[in-house]
């Protein structure tokens, strides 16, 4: 029994001193303890990365990215402002053009109306000139005495033109002698005015 204890003590002592010698030799670089004692081998521990906590380099990248985005956003705002200004200018121009179109359209309608009135009056003057030419002078004078001076003048001029076209003398000089002297003098004075200076009567003639 005593021999067994001694033997066990010697084995433990040998193992202990062997471990100390191996550890010492590993420290001084003579040998690698892990080659003889595997449990001493260092293992690479897994690196745990947390995406919520980027590195300083990543932070700088994010910062530059954000700055570029802000710059693009500022440029976009400027472009929108310029586009809005141009849009407002275009809208103002469109309104101005539309107003001009309306004005032109009104002028066209007014011109068409005046042209129609002028043509209607011209036709009426021709009809009245023919009617007066075919009436006895006294009857014609009685009808014309209530007309305006310019209505009388236009009819007399049309009568002169129609007589000239037909190659016969006009009776307008004789018709004028039938009016009282003052009215005859006023009509004669106005007939000497250029036709462009005459003003048409605003009242419905005849």
Count of other CB atoms within 10 angstroms of residue 172? 20
Instruction: Output the pLDDT for position 66.
Output: 79
Joined tokens for residue 178: 């039938």
Instruction: With a cut of 90, say whether residue 14 has pLDDT above it.
Output: no
What local confidence, expressed as pLDDT, does residue 136 receive?
Answer: 94
The tokens for 79 are 């472009």
Do residues 141 and 148 touch, judged by C-beta distance below 8 A?
A: no
- Span 71-98, pLDDT tens digits: 888 888 888 788 777 777 778 878 888 8
HSE at residue 103, side-chain half, CA atoms within 13 A, is 6
CB 136 within 8 A of CB 175: no
For residue 13, give both structure tokens: 């002592």
Given this model, what pLDDT does residue 193 score?
80
DSSP code per residue over the chain = -HHHHHHHHHHHHHHHHHHHHHHHHHHTTSS-HHHH-GGG---PPPPP--TTS--HHHHHHHHHHHHHHHHHHHHHHHHHHHHHHHHHHHHHHHHHHHHHHHHHHHHHHHHHHHHHHHHHHHHHHHHHHHHHHTS-HHHHHHHHTTS-HHHHHHHHHHHHHHHHHHTS--SHHHHHHTS-HHHHHHHHHHHTS-GGG----SSPP-
Could you tell me the residue ranges of all domains in the chain? 57-196
Tell me the per-residue pLDDT of 188-201, one tens digit each, with 9 for 90 and over: 999 888 764 444 44
- Give this prediction's pTM: 0.48
Higher pLDDT, 59 or 152: 152
Q: Is the pLDDT of residue 135 over 50?
A: yes
Mean of pLDDT over the chain: 76
Distance CA 54, CA 60 (A): 10
């Amino acid at each position: 029994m005593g021999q067994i204890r001694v033997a066990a003590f010697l084995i433990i002592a040998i193992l202990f001193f062997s471990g100390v010698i191996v550890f010492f030799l590993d420290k001084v670089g003579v040998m690698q303890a892990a080659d003889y004692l595997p449990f001493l081998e260092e293992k690479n521990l897994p690196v745990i990365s947390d995406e919520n906590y980027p590195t300083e380099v990543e932070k700088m990248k994010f910062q530059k990215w954000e700055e570029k985005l802000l710059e693009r956003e500022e440029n976009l705002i400027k472009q929108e402002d310029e586009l809005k200004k141009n849009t407002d200018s275009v809208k103002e121009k469109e309104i101005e053009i539309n107003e001009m179109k309306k004005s032109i359209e009104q002028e066209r309608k007014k011109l068409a109306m005046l042209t129609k009135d002028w043509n209607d009056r011209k036709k009426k003057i021709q009809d009245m000139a023919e009617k007066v030419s075919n009436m006895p002078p006294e009857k014609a004078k009685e009808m014309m005495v209530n007309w305006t001076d310019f209505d009388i003048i236009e009819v007399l001029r049309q009568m002169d033109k129609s007589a000239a076209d037909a190659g016969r003398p006009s009776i307008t000089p004789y018709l004028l002698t039938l009016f009282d002297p003052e009215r005859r003098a006023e009509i004669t004075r106005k007939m000497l005015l250029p036709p462009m200076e005459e003003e048409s009567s605003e009242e419905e003639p005849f």
